[in-house]
Amino acid sequence: MACGFRRCIASQLSRVLDLPPENLIKSISAIPVSKKEEIADFQLSVDSLLENRNEHSRSDNQVQAKRLAEKLKCDTVVSEIITGPGTINFKINREVLTKAVLQQVVEDGSKYGLKSELFSGLPQRKIIVEFSSPNVAKKFHVGHLRSTIIGNFIANLKEALGHQVTRINYLGDWGMQFGLLGTGFQLFGYEEKLQSNPLQHLFEVYVQVNKEAADDKNIAKLAREFFQRLELGDMQALSLWQRFRDLSIKEYSQIYKRLGIYFDEYSGESFYHKKSQEVLKLLDSKGLLQKTIKGTAVVDLSGNGDPSSICTVMRSDGTSLYATRDLAAAIDRMDRYNFDTMIYVADKGQQKHFQQLFQMLKIMGYDWAERCQHVPFGVVQGMKTRRGDVTFLEDVLNEIRLKMLQNMASIKTTKELENPQETAERVGLAALIIQDFRGLLLSDYQFSWDRVFQSRGDTGVFLQYTHARLHSLEETFGCGYLNDFNTACLQEPQSVSVLQHLLRPDFIFSKLSVMS
């Protein structure tokens, strides 16, 4: 939709500048919609047209913008041309805008915005998105919620643009914590509790064994030995670990079902503890592996001993580490999927880990390391149940559903529903997700129950309410009236603002696609 208007603007510019229109289209961008005032729709940066940009000052750009604007004329599509700081802004004729946008919405339906020529030459890629990645044998903590919903959003976006997407849940199912948990269950575990409430019991065992290990060096020693047995393939240790893993995935699957999220592959660190030994041999053969006095193995990514660039890849007892297993996983995925892009969705605290991971892949000779990227995000602070309990996602989802049911029951206009529990669940999830998406991606934010339940403003509850109202109108009147409408009735600022937002989905998709 927006591309049609851009072509009209580019066509006029091409006649003045004597340049092909296709060379100008990408220089014309949509202007973000403002809540405060009605603005122009498209903008041309004069700087993007100048060959030697560094030689031109801002005042030169301003002069160039004014000179160029004077040569342009308004027409049936462009109603106003205004210059800004080194830019030329174009306002689309409001009646033309209204008619064109609504007709395109009716024609394209759910594909609106995706049929843009911005995507017509887009090559179809094989993309892996790794997200969520909770720790096995622990209840699904709310700390993993952001990775889950952001990763799902990116995967949905890539699929909508026609890419072949593989969604991977890379579980934290290996490492020293399982030495502690295995030892803890042997000392403090109860079979009947494991049967009735598995992850809650394992969480209690893990808390207890950590507390005991802090005071008793023998327990810490037993935990190290248990993990060594796991790495060596001891059947008894592996059997207990496998049971913990299966119980965890079963419970996680129920959470993902509630969130409307699925995965193509449940992977995990455990898949790569053997292959990590091959990685260590490869690092050693390339002269990259160094042994320390303590017996650990490290890789010096700086080449000059900079402590901040040292990455430990093996413990002194020969067992693998998170970084080593991640290297093995990346290499394996390239072998199996031959991906064009692999996206890791993890909080910003993991930035150094991924920087080192990609750098190690590169010095190992894997040029495709440049296809790997980390999408970092800020963390949620203060997300607890109203009772102040340790926050597991299931408890948060249950509390939101209950509160929504209470709110629905207290509102007189609420219709009688066939399944009020399901409706409350969906509205509650929208409330939770929209609150998360409101802030900047990299910013930490303070969770607020009051904001989640707000029924007005930019909230999930109001979004669902508005959708229900619009759907009700559509059921009552149908969509036929959109073929015959009076554009003069949609010229007030609120209507124009909505139309401007509808004008921009292809730009939003393209920018989000580049960002991720």
Any idea which residues carry the catalytic annotation? 138, 141, 144
At residue 313, what are phi and psi to the nearest 5 degrees?
-120, -5
- d(CA 499, CA 430) in angstroms, rounded, equals 24
Q: What is the CA radius of gyration of the chain?
A: 28
d(CA 30, CA 34): 12
Whether 297 and 316 have beta carbons less than 8 Å apart is answered as no
Which of 268, 267, 261 has its CA nearest to residue 148? 261
List, in sequence order, every residue forming a beta bridge with 88; answer none if it has no partner: 44, 83
DSSP 8-state symbol, 448: -
Angstrom distance (rounded) from CA 459 to CA 291: 54
Work out the burial of residue 125: count CB atoms within 10 Å of its CB; fewer than 13 is exposed, 13-18 middle, 19 or more buried.
middle
Task: Fill in the amino acid letter for 264.
Answer: D
What does the block give as tokens for 163?
Answer: 């890419």
CA gap 59, 449 in Å, rounded: 50
202: nearest Cα among 217, 185, 216, 223: 185
DSSP labels, 180-240 = HHHHHHHHH--HHHHHHSHHHHHHHHHHHHHHHHHH-HHHHHHHHHHHHHHHHT-HHHHHH
Closest CA to 248 of 311, 171, 182: 171
The two tokens of residue 282 are 């490869």
| Angle value at C-alpha 345, between 342 and 350, nearest 5 degrees | 110
What does the DSSP 8-state code read for residue 493?
Answer: H
